[in-house]
Amino acid sequence: FYSNLVNIVEVGPRDGLQNEKKVAIPVPTKVELVNRLVKAGVTNVEAGSFVSPKWVPQMGGTADVLKGIDRQKDVHYSVLVPNKRGLDDLVALLDNNPSDIPLTDEVSVFTAATDGFNKANLNCTVKESLEKLAVVTRTALDRGLRVRGYVSVVIVCPYSGKVDYKRVREVAKELIDMGCYEVSLGDTVGQGKPHQVGEMLEEVKKAVPVEKLAGHFHDTYGTGVANVLAALDHGIRTIDASVGGLGGCPYSPGATGNVATEDVLYALQGSPYQVAGSNNGTIDLKEMVNIGWWISSELGRPSASRVARAVRAK
């Protein structure tokens, strides 16, 4: 019934870099990161965000990143947009692109399962954000873009504690109803456990077909790979991951990066699941390890991927 092909959405250049506060990462480094990931076989990559640079300074250069990328056919270079202003800026950029190849074909909109987190992240309640995002989504769809949705804090919220999975279900359903082709469910804090991932997914699946859901796990408590496997067991076939385990959300204090793409690739090697990609039909683990070490060294630290560390230590 279910396909065994697993899609990876590489979120390193966005979720990975957005939380870097010490140094402004130069646009050419971000462009090189995206290009190298795509060469390694990544076909879905979040290239940045059109959010307020006052809120998330590191994403300020996203327009230049999009312009600088060596764009490949059949690769989705998506960007986050929080509001109409972000989408208008993106559309103006797309309209002024002299090339025949569009700069991007996808945006991601984001909201949360709790008002506490949403107020910290988007300065409005969940209900208010859904109203705004309905307009953003309609406008993006009319412009021919596809739209992905995010629900944050699907298990634990840093501001209001244990999350009601019914609320996750309702918000995910609203995003699908407004026209998102897929909704990514985020354990933003990275505190979730595999059995909780299963319980949460079974609740959300009551309202949204599992083919339209993705799993987005931060690895703060070291349960990232286990949560990915639990999600796959419950029918999820799209996983967000970050090269080198980069990242964290500026509005989720103490949360670390996403589950490392290398760690997911390693865990699935030789299993019934096959990771889809454009490098001999998959994503090249060895090259991802190299990219993770390279970008981490640019940030002045070792790769956070356990697999990348183990390989390097050999």
Q: How far is the CB of 274 from ligand HMG (least distance, A)?
A: 26
CA-CA distance, 40 to 64, in Å (whole number)? Answer: 22
Per-residue CA distances from 258 to 71, 88, 110, 113, 255 (Å): 25, 29, 16, 19, 9
> Which of these, 170, 172, 189, 304, lies nearest to 251 by C-alpha position?
189
- Secondary structure (3-state) at 242: strand
Q: Given phi > 0 = left and psi -120 to 50 = alpha, else beta, which region is 153?
A: left
Decide the pairing of beta strands 156-157 and 213-217: unpaired
- Asked if 199 and 211 count as a contact pair (C-beta separation under 8 A), the reply is no
> Could you count the other beta carbons within 10 Å of the beta carbon of residue 276?
17
* 314 contact choice in Mg ion, ligand HMG, none (CB below 5 to 8 Å, kind-dependent): none
Q: How far is the CB of 148 from ligand HMG (least distance, A)?
A: 10
Nearer to ligand HMG, 11 or 283 (CB): 11
Segment 46 to 65, residues that bind ligand HMG, using CB under 6 A: 49-52, 54-56
Nearer to ligand HMG, 20 or 287 (CB): 20
Strands, E, within 194-298: which ranges? 213-217, 238-241, 274-275
φ and ψ at residue 302, rounded to 5 degrees: -75, 160
> Which of these, 207, 259, 250, lies nearest to 231 by C-alpha position?
259
Which residue numbers are catalytic?
Answer: 249
Among 10, 15, 32, 203, binds ligand HMG (CB under 6 A): 15
Segment 170 to 199, residues that bind ligand HMG, using CB under 6 A: 186, 188
For position 278 contacting ligand HMG by CB under 6 A, the verdict is: no
Q: How far is the CB of 164 from ligand HMG (least distance, A)?
A: 16
Nearer to ligand HMG, 216 or 237 (CB): 216
Query: Looking at 30-38, 62-70, 121-129, 229-237, which segment touches ligand HMG (CB under 6 A)?
Result: 121-129
Contact mark string toward ligand HMG, 16..45, x via CB under 6 A: --x---------------------------
* 217 contact choice in ligand HMG, Mg ion, none (CB below 5 to 8 Å, kind-dependent): none
Segment 7 to 46, residues that bind Mg ion, using CB under 5 A: 15
Nearer to ligand HMG, 85 or 166 (CB): 85
* 160 contact choice in Mg ion, ligand HMG, none (CB below 5 to 8 Å, kind-dependent): none
Nearer to Mg ion, 15 or 287 (CB): 15
Q: How far is the CB of 60 from Mg ion (least distance, A)?
A: 19
Q: How far is the CB of 189 from ligand HMG (least distance, A)?
A: 8
- CA within 13 Å, CB half, 253: 3
Nearer to ligand HMG, 34 or 189 (CB): 189
3-state SS of 260-279 is EHHHHHHHHCCCCCEECCCE
Per-residue CA distances from 55 to 24, 46, 79, 250, 251 (Å): 14, 18, 16, 9, 10
Residues in the interface with Mg ion (CB under 5 A) total 1
**Which residues contact residue 10 at a Cβ distance below 8 angstroms, ignoring those fewer than 6 apart?**
37, 42, 44, 45, 46, 241, 242, 243, 261
Q: Which residue has the tokens 């990876």?
A: 8
Q: How far is the CB of 153 from ligand HMG (least distance, A)?
A: 6
Chain residues that interact with ligand HMG, rule: CB under 6 A:
15, 18, 49-52, 54-56, 80, 82-83, 85-86, 89, 110, 121-123, 150, 152, 186, 188, 216, 218, 249-251
Q: Which residues bind Mg ion (CB under 5 A)?
A: 15
